[in-house]
Each structure stands twice: as C-alpha cells, then as structure tokens.
Structure 1
Amino acid sequence: MAGGRGGDAAGRRAGDAPRALPRAPLARRPRWPHPSPARGPPLAVSGGRARRGRRRRREGRPLSLAVNERGLLERYLDELYAWNTRINLTRVPREQAWDRHVGEALELLATVPPAPGARLVDVGSGAGIPGLPIAVVRPDLEVILCDSDRGRTEFLAHVVDLIGLRGVGVAWVRAEDLGRTEGAREAFDAAVSRATAPPPALCELCLPLLRVGGTMAALVSDAPAASAACAHAATVCGGGTPAAPAPGVLAVVKERPTPERYPRRPGIPARRPLL
C-alpha cells in the first residue's frame, strides 16, 4: 500500500464518462458521511461455511454462483490478466486465478458475511481482492476499493465500470490518510484485506475505519499465528480479541472508538508495528 496521497474529496457516479483519477480520498461515488445504521453486528463469524467451501474446491466442484455472477467474475479475471501485461497487478498464473482470487475472496465472505446493506472497505485492494468478488455476489453492499497505487486504482475504476458494479467506489489514497479523513473514519461496517501488511499494521490501518461493532476480516496465510501477533495492536486500536474463524481468515470486532493518534503517519504502522 505504499504511495498515493489523500486530498479533497472528488468523484463521479457510475455511468459518468471515465476520467483521470484525482489525488483524492474517493475517486468515484463519494457518499460520505454515512448515517449510523440501525442494525446488529455487520459480520457474523461462521467458520463452518468456509470449511465447506474449501472442501468443494478441493474436490474440484465449482463454487455455487449464479450464471450472471460467474460471467461477471470471468470477465473481471480476463480484464485483470489483460492489464497485467502492462502493470503489475498479480503474480498468480491465469490457470490458478479462479481458486486464488475468486475462491479465496468468497471463502472470506462465507466466513464473516456482512449484514444486508453494510458498508465495506477493501484496504489495499490491489487487483480488487477480496473486495471486487464480494461486490459481485453481494450487490446490496456499498463497497469502497482503497489502494495507494494510481495504476491499480485506474484498473479498479475501469473494471468496476466495465462490469457495471453500481454500488462500488474506488479510492486512490493511503489507508493511513483515509483513516483520518472526516466521513471515512469510523464510518464502515466492515473492513477487508488480503494480507497487505503484517497483522499488527493491518489492525492499525483497518480498525480506525470501522464503526464500533464493525469487523475487520483479512485473508492471511496462518490465522492462528496472525491473531496472536496482532493481539496488542487490536486492543490499542479499539478492537477485541483477534479470532481465527478459519485457518486463512483473521477477524477482529471493534469494541470501542479508536484513539485519535491512530493510524499513525503513512508508513509508520508497517515500519514500527504495535507489538
């Protein structure tokens, strides 16, 4: 998530003519500040559903998707690998893309499913994982794909328009800056990520964006180890005890407001993690 800077909010709605992304926290569909939703916890941990999903993939059976959802996701992957010849978006071979990109994103969704109408931010979205597949299969969600790299956010804005995801916005900004932006700080029900930083840094980047009661959910290689590594950072930033609801999913529920000093300046959470 290195690079990129925040600025004045600027944006456009789906259907407007494409234009260059500004140096702004929100490049498309600015809809902040959000009213506080009157609903229960946005994400319910459900490890069994994710385990069933992994068994389906190991046995070679397709994930359960509607025909139109599968078509949108295949078109997204085609566009991803077309752009990957020009900018570095993924190192995953094309033949592994469905399992590694789509499958893992949907496992995260199955493990910690957002409540209907939740507001979700994908921190360090990169090529759009896990946020973009989640947005395809959950069009009721309001999703922001956040990344600090201009090339990646240009790709994300392009593919969002291409496949017609009207509830999705793209933010070209560092997560540290977004977490201090009025209307974005403590405005989301869910924050997701795909191991874009060490677990303690992930907590410092994601938890300030969540309302109290919201949940951070991240794809990691070893969730039990990650949950132990970020226990202090989670507490400091307002979270509860980190959980590992699935072997590759780290989850932290926000229990109280994040202290004003967090997140620290860009780059500091990764260089000097809260241990």
Structure 2
Amino acid sequence: MGLQVNPPGSLSELRDRLPSQLDTILRRSAELGFLGRMPIPDQIDHALGFVFAAESEIDGPPGSVLDLGTGGGVPGLVLLSCWPDCRVVLLDASERRTGFLAEQTADWRRNGPLEVVRDRAESVGRDERFRQQFELVVSRSFGVPAVTAECAAPLLSPGGGLIVSEPPEGAAPDRWPSDGLALLGLRTSVQARFDGRFSYQVLVKDGLTPDAYPRRVGIPAKRPLF
C-alpha cells in the first residue's frame, strides 16, 4: 500500500478555492455544538486533505460525492466549495444538524446539485436514489472501520473511492482487513498524508456489494463484519 504526500504549496492553493462565507458558516456550526474542539482553520485544512486525496486518486474532481455523517458540515461544505460542478449529498441522522446545513446552503451559488439528507446511512444505502450513485464517499468520524465500510460500499458506483480520516500517525496494518473488505467489494488503495498533520485511508470499490448490505439500522455497529 503506497503513501501519497501533498507537495509544497498545495495547501495554500487549495485554500484559495474556498469562499469567504465558509468560515462564517463553520463558526456558526461550532457555536451550535455541531463541530468538535479543533480550531476552525485546522478543521478546514483537515477537510482540504480529503480534496487532495480524492483528486490524487481519481486525477481530478469527482462527479458525485456523499459526506457520510456530515455533522456540522465538515468536510462536506469544503468539498462543495472546491467542486462546484459536482453532485454533493450531505448525509446525517440529526434533524438539528441537517436543518442548519439546509438553511445555510439554500442560496449557495454552484452548478452541481446539492442535497442535505436526514436519514440513517443503512436506510440510504438501500434507496435506489443513492445506492451505487457516487464516485466518492468521504467519512470524517462516522464510525469504526467495519461500520464505515458497510455503510459506504453500497453507495459507491463501481470503481468509486472511499476516503476515511485516520489518526495522525496513520492506520494500523490490521485496521482495514482485506478479507472483511472483500465481503463488501472493497480493497485498500493508498494512504494519504496532508500537510504533515493529517492522515487518510483511501479504499476502492473493485467488486460488487451484495444485496445483503447494508444490514438493518444498527446491526453494522452491533455485529461488525470485522
């Protein structure tokens, strides 16, 4: 498994793609308790790491992306800022968080469609509007690897990629076991390192996800596949 490291100067270039309104929205989100304790500028930089990892893996912006458990809008709001022509879906089970995001993005100027969805990932993965419809799925802090993989794989189109935030030191070798991923049609691709501070695991859907997945709401967490 290889390692991608962003070149010098790329962080500044990515920051230049962001609109001024983004910082204001994320600060409101933090005030409402929708974001963690990490300073807003660092949260934005961490989200830009998803942009770097995705564009490195697929050689350009994706045509569609779903933010799995978007919470207060990170990395989803950063992604829709950087990819104005991309279909973006922000998914979360919280009515308060999705209500906030829908309100804040109602007048966002972009070319691609944007949808804020309040639902459980297990349910969305069985909805034909979303199943196998995304070139990219991202996860900042959705759940443990087995839960994230089971909920993300059904959403990915064949050949699509899943990018998951990892601890700063990177993923342990047994964190993403090949046998468990194969059950879902996934395999690990590369690890990405961004700005010397943030790590990500990139996975690729190179097989079929059986109709049995995702299992019923709550089952992936109660009985993880690996």
TM-score (norm 2): 0.85
Residues 128 and 155 of structure 1: CA distance in aligned 2, closer, same or farther (over 3 Å): same
* Aligned twin of 1:150: 95
Task: Call closer, same or farther: CA 1:64–1:176 in 2, change over 3 Å.
Answer: closer
Matched residue, 1:216: 162
3-state DSSP class of the match of 1:180?
A: coil
Contact 2:91 2:117 in 1 (8 A): yes
Aligned-partner Cα distance in 1 for 2:199–2:34: 22
Identify which of 24, 33, 48 aligns with 2:5: 48
Asked if the contact 1:75–1:163 (Cα under 8 Å) also holds between the matched residues in 2, the reply is: no
The alpha-carbon deviation at position 159 of structure 1 amounts to 1.4
The ranges of structure 1 where at least 4 consecutive aligned residues each deviate by more than 6 angstroms after the TM superposition are none
1:250-269 CA distances to partner (integer Å, 9 max, x unpaired)?
11100112011011111111
For residues 65 and 215 of structure 2, what CA distance do their matches in structure 1 show?
A: 22
Q: Which amino acid aligns with 2:186?
A: G
Find the partner of 1:169 among 104, 112, 115. 115
Partner of 1:81: 30
Q: 1:130 offset after TM fit, Å?
A: 1.0
Q: Report how many aligned residue pairs link the two structures.
A: 215
Larger Rg: 1
Report SS of the residue matched to 2:162. Answer: strand
2 CA distance for matches of 1:198 and 1:141? 27
Could you list the per-position Cα deviations for residues 175-218 of structure 1 after superposition, in whole angstroms to 9, with x for gaps in the alignment? 10000011311111000010210011110010110011000001
CA shift, 1:71, in A, is 0.4
Q: How far, CA to CA, are the matches of 1:146 and 1:91 in structure 2?
A: 18
Other structure's SS at 1:240 match: strand
Structure 1 gaps of 5+ residues are 1-44, 57-61
In structure 1, the residue matched to 2:128 is 182
Distance 1:229 1:46 in 2: 16
Partner-residue secondary structure (3-state), 2:164: strand
Q: Deviations over 1:37-77 (max 9, x none)?
A: xxxxxxxx98222x6479x6xxxxx56433x7240222222
CA contact (8 A) 2:124 2:130 kept: yes
Q: What is the Cα-based RMSD across aligned positions, in Å?
A: 2.4
Q: Deviations over 1:21-45 (max 9, x none)?
A: xxxxxxxxxxxxxxxxxxxxxxxx9
TM-score, scaled relative to structure 1: 0.71
In structure 2, the partner of 1:241 is 188
Find the counterpart in structure 2 of residue 111 from structure 1: 53
**Distance in 1 (alpha carbons) for counterparts of 2:49 and 2:37:** 18
